[in-house]
């Protein structure tokens, strides 16, 4: 992502532009971070960013380039919501013949994005019930660090 602050003002309300560059995000997920497609995507980012940087420089804008995560190859997926379902902690509802996770009736559910998962638990009394099956789930490479799972509660207003 590019963040461009226009002008020289450091004031919090100075106009900014945010530009999402999806090249590496999508191709690394589809083809892996070590693929020829990933190398081509990285080259395409350089091509596509060059005119944006030139325009920002010509107007005196400040440019910040950032990435929110990195993607590395995965050899073994961690199907956390399947583990939670098998433990009776994640409920599903059926709509139009399709099953969908139902966080409102579940004790816990995982929001998984790439190689990070946020596990939401209804309340603190459920932490041991949720933590035990997840911590016994094999994740990551067969050797070396295998996982870092943090399970905590989520405060929800009203009934969960």
Structurally, the chain folds into a number of domains equal to: 2
One pLDDT digit (tens) per residue for the chain, 160 residues:
555 555 554 555 566 777 778 777 778 778 878 889 988 988 888 898 898 888 888 888 878 777 765 677 666 677 889 999 999 999 999 999 999 988 888 999 888 766 667 788 888 888 888 888 887 777 644 444 445 555 555 544 444 4
Domain boundary among 65, 92, 110: 65
Q: How far apart are CA 122 and CA 126, in angstroms?
A: 7
Say whether both 15 and 56 belong to one domain: yes
Say whether both 84 and 149 belong to one domain: yes
Q: How far apart are CA 112 and CA 123, in angstroms?
A: 20
Global confidence as pTM: 0.54
* 71 domain-assigned: no
CA atoms within 13 A on the CB side of 10: 0
């Amino acid at each position: 992502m590019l963040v461009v602050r226009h002008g020289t003002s450091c004031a919090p309300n100075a106009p900014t532009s945010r530009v999402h560059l999806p090249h590496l995000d999508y191709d690394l997920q589809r083809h892996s971070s070590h693929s020829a497609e990933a190398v081509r995507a990285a080259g395409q980012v350089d091509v596509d960013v060059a005119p944006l940087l030139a325009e920002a420089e010509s107007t005196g804008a400040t440019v910040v380039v950032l990435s929110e995560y990195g993607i590395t190859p995965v050899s073994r997926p961690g199907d956390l919501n399947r583990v939670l379902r098998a433990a009776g902690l994640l409920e599903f509802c059926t709509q139009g013949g399709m099953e969908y996770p139902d966080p409102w009736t579940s004790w816990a559910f995982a929001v998984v994005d790439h190689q990070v998962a946020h596990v939401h638990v209804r309340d603190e009394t459920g932490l041991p019930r949720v933590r035990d099956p997840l911590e016994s789930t094999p994740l990551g490479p067969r050797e070396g660090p295998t996982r870092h799972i943090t399970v905590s509660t989520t405060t929800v207003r009203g009934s969960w």
